Amino acid sequence: MSKRTTPGPEFASEKELSEFLLSNLNANLTQAIKGTVSVMIKQEMRTLREELNASWQFNGHYGRHLVSPAGKIENIPVPRFRSGNSGLPLQSTAIFAEEKERFLQLVGEMHLAGISQRKINRLCRQLFGKAVAPKTTKTVFAELIEQEAFQVNKTSLMDAPQQFLLLDGLWQKVKSERTGQVEDRVILTALGMDEAGHKQLLGFELAVAEDEASWRKLLDQLTKRGFNLADINLITCDEAKGLLAALDRLIPDTPVQLCLTHRYRNVLKYTPHRHKRAMGADLKQLTASADKEEFVSNVKDMQKRWQTVAPRAVKSLTRTPHLLTAYFAFPPHLWSKLRTTNALERTLREIRSRTVVMQHQFASPQSAINYHRASMGQLNQTYFAN
Could you tell me the sign of the dihedral formed by the alpha carbons of 259, 265, 270, 273, in that order?
positive
Length of the chain: 386
Nearest to 140 by CA among 132, 152, 148: 132
Q: What is the rounded CA–CA span in Å between residue 68 and residue 136? A: 12
Model confidence, pTM: 0.70
In sequence order, the 6+-apart residues with CB closer than 8 A to the CB of 138 are none
Domain residue ranges of the chain, discontinuous segments joined by +: 14-144, 164-381
Per-residue pLDDT of the chain (386 residues; tens, 9 = 90+): 443 433 444 455 556 656 665 565 555 555 555 665 666 677 777 787 787 777 777 777 777 776 654 456 677 777 777 776 665 656 555 555 555 666 667 777 776 666 667 777 777 766 655 667 777 777 777 777 677 666 888 888 988 888 999 999 999 989 888 888 999 999 999 999 998 888 999 999 999 999 999 999 999 999 999 999 999 999 999 999 999 999 999 999 999 999 999 999 999 999 999 999 999 999 999 999 999 999 999 999 999 999 999 999 999 999 998 999 999 999 999 999 999 999 999 888 877 876 655 556 788 888 888 888 888 887 887 777 66
In sequence order, the 6+-apart residues with CB closer than 8 A to the CB of 346 are 5, 7
DSSP-H helix ranges across 52-193:
95-112, 117-128, 134-144
By three-state DSSP, how is residue 208 classified?
A: coil
Q: What is the rounded CA–CA span in Å between residue 100 and residue 141? A: 15
Q: What is the rounded CA–CA span in Å between residue 245 and residue 190? A: 16
Q: What is the rounded CA–CA span in Å between residue 3 and residue 150? A: 24
Are 364 and 177 in contact, with CB atoms under 8 Å apart? yes
Q: What is the rounded CA–CA span in Å between residue 143 and residue 139? A: 6
By three-state DSSP, how is residue 199 classified?
A: strand
